[in-house]
């Protein structure tokens, strides 16, 4: 009789342990499912979000090819310039231009060769500062009468046809972006959004710059993303705040 009671007691304990194991396993499964559901619920679609940035344009620093004194500066900040436009000259420009013109006449009359003309042309061009693009004068680094070292900056030209902005996307969302992905850029005062596309995605995370987003987001690790404007015009200016939405 004692042996039978022992067997019954052991059987009850095994059933009790088995039930405990089952409930524990079920609880862990429910917790895992809850975490998965919450994670999925928190995952945002990047196309439903708006990102902010500041319009910028590609800058070209134009300098002197040789050292000299700046004699003429034909532009002011804010002026629009054309590709090939003469912006400034150095002190030996007039003499080098006369030498070029004289060599060109000699070449026509057989008194000089092509190599001499090319040398005179290069000498003259060393005394010039010419715009390589259609753009706008952003900065004048010097004024007439100042001595400029070789390579010293004279003016900074902004390329109106190469405008862009940089935004910052959180690490957990950047995988939704790809190069050449289309975007719409909204600027205050513009009747229609500008078209743009992703031209750069940083390969390293960084803390959001202090002048971007909210204080909470400043401590978030983010990825820098560059959006280039497809259809810039004269109404789009550097320094203007803009919003971006991905298509």
Task: Report DSSP letters for the chain, one per residue.
Answer: -HHHHHHHHHHHHHHHHHHHHHHHHHHHHHHHHHHHHHHHHH---GGG--EEEEEEEEEEEEE-SS-EEEEEE---TT-EE-TT-EEEEETTHHHHHHHHHHHHHHHHTTSS-HHHHHHHHHHHHTTEEE-SSSEEEEEE---TT-EE-TT-EEEEEEEEEEEEEEEEEETTTGGG--TT-EEEEEETT-SSPEEEEEEEE-SS-EEPPTTSS-TTGGGSEEEEEEEEESS--TT--TT-EEEEEE-
pLDDT above 90: residue 92: yes
How big is the CA angle at 103 (ends 98 and 109), to the nearest 5 degrees? 135
pLDDT tens readout for residues 193-223:
999 999 999 988 877 665 555 555 554 788 9
The whole-model pTM stands at: 0.68
Phi-psi region for residue 212, left (φ > 0), alpha (ψ -120 to 50) or beta? Answer: beta
Residue range 5-16: average pLDDT?
47
pLDDT tens readout for residues 118-138:
999 999 999 999 999 999 999
pLDDT tens readout for residues 32-82:
444 444 444 456 899 999 999 999 999 999 999 999 999 999 999 999 999
Q: How much is the pLDDT for 40?
A: 46
Q: Which of 20-34, 95-109, 134-148 has the lowest mean pLDDT?
A: 20-34
Cα–Cα distance measured from residue 168 to residue 201, given in angstroms and rounded to the nearest whole number: 10
């Amino acid at each position: 009789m004692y042996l039978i009671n022992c067997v019954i007691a052991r059987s009850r304990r095994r059933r009790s342990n088995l039930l405990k194991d089952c409930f524990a396993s079920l609880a862990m499964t429910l917790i895992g499912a809850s975490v998965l559901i919450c994670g999925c619920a928190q995952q945002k679609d990047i196309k439903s979000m708006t990102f902010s940035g500041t319009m910028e344009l590609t800058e070209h620093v134009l300098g002197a090819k040789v050292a000299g004194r700046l004699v003429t500066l034909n532009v002011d900040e804010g002026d629009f310039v054309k590709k090939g436009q003469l912006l400034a000259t150095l002190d030996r420009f007039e003499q080098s231009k006369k030498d070029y013109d004289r060599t060109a006449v000699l070449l026509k009359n057989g008194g000089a060769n092509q190599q001499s003309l090319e040398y005179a042309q290069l000498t003259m061009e060393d005394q010039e500062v010419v715009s390589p693009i259609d753009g706008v004068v952003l900065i004048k680094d010097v004024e007439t009468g100042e001595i400029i070292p070789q390579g010293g900056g004279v003016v900074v030209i902004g390329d109106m046809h190469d405008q862009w902005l940089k935004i910052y996307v959180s690490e957990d969302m950047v995988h939704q972006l790809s190069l050449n992905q289309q975007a719409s850029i909204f600027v205050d005062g513009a009747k229609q959004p500008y078209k743009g596309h992703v031209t750069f995605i940083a390969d390293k995370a960084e803390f959001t710059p202090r002048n971007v987003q909210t204080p909470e987001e400043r401590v978030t690790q983010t990825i820098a993303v560059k959006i280039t404007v497809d259809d810039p015009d004269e109404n789009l200016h550097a320094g203007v705040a803009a919003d971006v939405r991905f298509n």
